Amino acid sequence: MTDRRTFMTVLGGAALASIASPVAAQKAKSVTIAYLALLPGEDRMSFMREFVKRLGELGYVDGQNLKFVYRSAEGHPELLPALASELLQMTPDVLVTGFGTVAAKAGKAAANGIPVVFMAVGDPVGAGVIDSLARPGGNVTGLTDLAAGLQGHRLQLLRDVAPAAAQIAVLMNPGTPYAALANKELEQAANTARIAIRAFEVRKPEDIASQLEAARGADGIMVFEDPLTLSQRGEIADGIAQLRLPAVYGYREFAEAGGLMACGTDHGAQWRRGAEFVDLIIKGARPSDIPVEQATRFELVVNLKTAKTLGITLPPTVMVRADYVIE
């Protein structure tokens, strides 16, 4: 994979530095950070390395002045409440929740006064995780993937690859608040472009194969990101490849699993920012005083190996925008 360029910048830490209590500016000698994950293997994903790396840069080193405790539901959301309770019995200084709304909600429900930082929730207000982005309320704050205009940008990528496209299939999990918002934005962009959009719903892994087969005949496919589709990214990419259709996905992990193009949040940058939120709280900031931040850094990843397999030539208009190319 080659690094091409980066677009859009991450907000600096200085904007929130004044929130931390000056009395607590000295880091505690030893802190405990608990991490609650829904996805299997989340601790092995590249963004987690960035999270731990940023913690180290901020002075927190696992095994020295940091105790880092990780629990994963391995893709089974029903296990999250018990895992959250288990983690909070250790009285961590901060509970961090990984991908997905259900992990954030489980952490918040069990927190009992422990600060919670969520790393990626699509619509935290709509899901009832926070009161508002500016004033999250309670003892919870974090970061959201929600970004205006993103679905229109993804649609344009498909149009660049398939200019004659008249119908686009959308693979989505309707059980997430993010899907409703993303689909509404996509429909608005599609109406402007005079392209038909048809949704294919997956609520569980067993739905994927049949829904992809039902999408046969579309001119392209867009896959909305959520913990379900992300955890099944390999199967989804393989299934779409069998249909020999151009597709755009939400996260780089989809392209790494064989998807043609992925345009979405730079999770390495987002998880690093989350580490800075954790640092602020450890220094004395209250989560309710830390505004929830929307994604500010995005990346386009293209998989040339997949393009070659599908017989698709990615046009210069796509390649010039690519931040990373898988060759």
Number of separate domains in the chain: 2
Does one domain contain both 287 and 138? yes
Find tokens 């850094």 and name the residue: 297
Q: 189 and 310: one domain?
A: yes
Q: Is residue 292 part of a domain?
A: yes
210, 282: one domain: no
Question: Pick from 262, 287, 284: which is nearest to 274 by CA?
Answer: 287
Q: Are residues 49 and 124 in the same domain?
A: yes
pLDDT of residue 148: 67
SS (H, E, C) 254-292: HHHCCCCEEEEECHHHHHHHHHHHHHHHHCCCCHHHCCC
Looking at the structure, do residues 14 and 58 belong to the same domain, yes or no? yes
Q: Could you tell me if 39 and 71 are in contact, meaning their C-beta atoms sit under 8 angstroms apart?
A: no
Q: Both 272 and 123 in a single domain? A: yes
Same domain flag for 141 and 192: no
Domain annotation covers residue 2 = no
**Comparing C-alpha atoms, which of 313, 308, 277, 279 is closest to residue 293?**
277
pLDDT in tens, the chain (327 residues): 444 333 222 334 444 444 444 333 344 479 999 999 999 999 998 899 999 999 999 999 999 999 999 999 998 999 999 999 999 999 999 999 999 999 999 999 999 999 999 999 988 998 899 999 999 998 999 999 877 688 999 999 999 999 999 999 999 999 887 888 899 999 999 999 999 999 999 999 999 999 999 999 999 999 999 889 999 999 999 999 999 999 999 989 999 999 999 999 999 999 999 999 999 999 999 999 999 999 888 999 999 999 999 999 999 999 999 999 999
> 4, 45, 13, 100: which is closest to 296 by C-alpha?
13
Q: How far is CA 101 from the centre of its chain?
A: 10
- 6 membership: H or E segment, kind and range: none
Q: Are residues 72 and 117 in the same domain?
A: yes
Tokens for 163, please give them: 């200019």
Give this prediction's pTM: 0.83
70 strand-pairing partners: 35
Question: pLDDT tens digits, residue range 277-307?
Answer: 999 999 999 999 999 999 888 999 999 999 9
CATH of the domain at 26: 3.40.50.2300
Q: Is residue 76 part of a domain?
A: yes
Same domain, 280 and 201: no
Give a yes or no: residue 49 inside a domain.
yes
Q: Quick one: pLDDT at residue 3?
A: 43
In whole angstroms, what is the distance from residue 168 CA to residue 173 CA? 16
In a domain, 1, yes or no: no
Do 46 and 177 belong to one domain?
no
* Distance between CA atoms of residues 41 and 234, nearest Å: 14
Contacts of residue 186, Cβ cutoff 8 Å, sequence gap at least 6: 151, 152, 154, 155, 170, 197, 222
Residue 167: Cβ within 10 Å count: 14
What distance in Å separates the CA atoms of residue 163 and residue 276, rounded to the nearest whole number? Answer: 42
| Residue 305 sits in the same domain as residue 201 | yes
> The domain containing residue 69 runs over which residues?
7-145+267-297
114 and 179 fall within a common domain? no
